[in-house]
Structure 1
C-alpha cells in the first residue's frame, strides 16, 4: 500500500524495499473546467483550458548544483547520458486519467557523483497563453516499484498555486547509502525551465 505524503515530509525508499532499483516516477494533473471561452479564446477545448504542462528532472551534484545541459532531462533531452534516467515523452494536454508524464529511473545506475534528482513541472508558453497553476487540479507525483508495479509513495499537491507558473514537486536524494524522497510542492513564478534552473547554478 502506498504511503501518502504531506508537503515537507520525507521517506526512505530503499530502507524497507531491499534491492529496489528500477522505479517509475509518474506526474499527473487535470485542467480545471471553465465556463465558456472567457479571455482564453481558442485555447479552450470543451470548456476546459488546453494547458501544456512539462515535467522535467534536474540532476544535481552534492552542492545542489547542475553541472551541464545534459543534466537537464526534459522533452528536448529525454535520456541522461548515464542511461539511468529516461523521460517517456511530452503530454500536450493533461487529458485523461492516471499519469500525464512518466520518468524511469534506475537507482543502481545513477552515477555516484549525483546526489539529488529534482522533479519539476512548468507550463509551456505560460506568458503568451496567460496560464498558471491555479488552472490545474488533482496534481500529484507517485513512485512505482517496477519489479512488482507496487505504488510506493504518492504526494497529492493540495496548495493553492494561483499565479504560480512553475512547481518544484519532489526530490529523490541520497542519504547515508539510502535513496529518499521528499515532497516539496513549492510554487514559483519562473516562466521557463531556464528560469527554474537559476537556483541551481
Structure 2
C-alpha cells in the first residue's frame, strides 16, 4: 500500500522497506488541450544545499551522474505514456558520499514563450517505487496550487545518517529550468 502525501509531508524511505537500495522516481501527467512538455531533473546536492558539480545535474541533456547512481531514462515530450511519462532511477547506496540531498524537479520546456503553466495539466504526480519489489512507497498528487507556475521542486530525498527521507516540497516558481539551475548552483 502506497502512502499519499500532502504538501510538506515526509516519510523515512528505509523504514518502509526491509532494505531499500534502488528507487524509481516516476512523473506523470495528462494533457488538457495544449501540448505541454514537462522535463524531469535531479540536482545532487552537498551539505551546503548546492550542486556538487555541474555533472551532478541530471536532466535530458545529461542523463547520468558521474557516479552513475542517478540516471534519467529519457525525455517524453507529450505526457502520452501509459504509466510514468518520465523516469529517473536512483541507487541510494551508490551515490557519492558527499551527496546529502537529491532535489527532484520538473519544469515546462519553453513555458514563457508558449504561455504554458502547470494549470494546463491534469493528474500530474510524482511517485517513488522500490525497483526490486516494484512496491510503490509513496505518491504525491499535485493540486491546483501550481496552476500559474512553470517550474517546481516537487520533492527532496534527504540523507540523515545512513537513512534517506522523502520530503514532498512542492516549491513552485515561474523561472523555468534556468531558474532551478540558478537556485542550486
TM interval, short-chain normalised? over 0.9
Q: How many residues align?
A: 185
CA RMSD of aligned residues (A): 1.2
Which protein shows a greater Rg?
A: 1
Match of 1:104 among 75, 79, 89: 89
Q: For the residues of structure 1 that align with 2:82 and 2:124, how far apart are their CA atoms?
A: 11
Q: For the residues of structure 1 that align with 2:54 and 2:97, how far apart are their CA atoms?
A: 18
Where 1:14 maps in the other structure, the secondary structure is helix
Q: For the residues of structure 1 that align with 2:99 and 2:124, how far apart are their CA atoms?
A: 27
Q: Gapped runs of 5+ residues in structure 2?
A: none
**Post-superposition CA distance 1:121-142 (Å, at most 9, x none):** 1111112211111111111111
Aligned residue for 2:45? Answer: 60
Match of 2:67 among 65, 82, 105: 82
Where 2:93 maps in the other structure, the secondary structure is helix
Q: 1:15: Cα distance to partner?
A: 2.2
**Post-superposition CA distance 1:143-167 (Å, at most 9, x none):** 1111111111111111332221111
Q: For the residues of structure 2 that align with 1:99 and 1:121, how far apart are their CA atoms?
A: 13
Q: 1:68: Cα distance to partner?
A: 2.1
Per the normalisation by structure 1, the TM-score is 0.88
Q: For the residues of structure 1 that align with 2:112 and 2:143, how far apart are their CA atoms?
A: 23
Q: For the residues of structure 2 that align with 1:156 and 1:53, how far apart are their CA atoms?
A: 16
